[in-house]
Amino acid sequence: MEFPPTDYACALEDHTVHYAQAGAGDMLVFIHGSLCDYRYWRWQLPALSAQWHVVAPSLRGYWPQASQQADPRFSVARHAQDMAAFIQNLGNGRPAHILGHSRGAQVALELALQAPALVRTLTLADPGFRLEGEPAAPAFHGDMATLLRQGNIEAAVSGFVDKANGAGTWRQMTSWFKTMVKDNSRTLLSQAQEPHPAVNMDQVQALDAPLLLIGGAHSPERYASRLRALQDALPQATRVTIPMAAHGMNLANPRAFNQTVTDFLINAG
């Protein structure tokens, strides 16, 4: 299936955001993770656009304007700033429902901390960020970037996907997903060099927006540990586990994922 039917573009001060969109009403923004772009949300736009204006941007440096060299400006903070400007532009300053997955969950959280007036609700799906006070985990981005520089794209992207999602994941992926990942493969050159700031839980506790925490039933433990820490800090948060799915839960079990998001947004008002 070709996705999306139309590529939209929003010009910011120093960057053009490409995005897919569908539906009308209150804006629901999906923020993708590593090696992905707006095509990652192909099963969410048609399902959720009956009730919301669903918008899926590609972050700066990703397809269809994927960076081919390491960009020293590549960072979670910069992506959050871009998303704030994008929402201001597209939504005329009105708050939006924000959902981020994996690295995109940290972008979404940073957005909520930087510009809380723009965030109506916040959904974090399998965030992988480090918490303040934790030792830095060994990073594997550098190894994958080395493979890329050697011209071994297949080994780099398959290694990254399997490390992030679990052994054997790449082998099971569909052709469109593999195409998307390879289109974004060289973003790993930037990601290997980006700062990895820890999340301050005191700041997280100050969040006012209704919060949904989503995990995959078979996701690696490091994601579940983030969700537990967030739930401990914000006991009023809603937490849901998507059955029959791992890290890519919105693709493996889109019906359950979409229903979870729908129920939360309706209940949040």
The DSSP annotation for 192-230 comes to TTS--PPB-HHHHHT--S-EEEEEETTS-HHHHHHHHHH
Average pLDDT (196-211) is 93
What pLDDT was estimated at residue 30?
Answer: 98
What is the residue whose two structure tokens read 């897919």? 20
pTM assigned to the model: 0.96
Judged by average pLDDT, the poorest of 44-48, 130-134, 224-228 is 130-134
Q: What is the mean pLDDT of residues 169-181?
A: 94
Per-residue pLDDT for 1 more than 60? no
pLDDT at residue 2, as a whole number: 67
User: Can you read off the two tokens belonging to residue 171?
Assistant: 């082998």
- Residues 161, 197, 227, 100, Cα dihedral to 10°: -60
Q: What is the pLDDT of residue 93?
A: 84
Does the residue 170 lie in any domain?
A: no
pLDDT at 57: 98
Q: Is residue 242 part of a domain?
A: yes
- Encode pLDDT of 106-156 as tens digits: 999 999 999 999 999 999 999 989 999 887 766 667 788 888 889 899 999
Q: Which letter does DSSP use for residue 68 in this model?
A: S
pLDDT at position 215: 98
Residue 92 CB contacts under 8 Å (≥ 6 apart), including other chains: none
Domain residues for 204? 8-138+196-268
Site of tokens 């050159």 = 189
What is the tally of structural domains in the chain?
A: 1
Whether a cis peptide bond, with omega within 30° of 0, leads into 4 is yes
H/E element, 238? strand 238-242
CA angle 251, 101, 256 (to 5 degrees): 40
Is 1 within a domain?
A: no
Question: Within a domain: residue 3?
Answer: no
- Residue 159 inside a domain? The answer is no
Instruction: Specify if 191 maps to a domain.
Output: no
Average pLDDT, integer, range 89-104? 95
Over range 52-81, report the average pLDDT: 96
Determine, yes or no, domain membership for 161. no
pLDDT at 65 over 80: yes
Amino acid at 200: N
Using CA atoms, how far apart are residues 227 and 90, in angstroms rounded to an integer? Answer: 30
Report pLDDT for 139: 65
Q: Is the pLDDT reported for residue 225 higher than 80?
A: yes
CA atoms of 269 and 186, how far apart (whole Å): 40
d(C-alpha 64, C-alpha 59), whole Å: 10
Q: What is the pLDDT of residue 12?
A: 94
Asked if 148 contacts 185 with a C-beta cutoff of 8 angstroms, the reply is yes
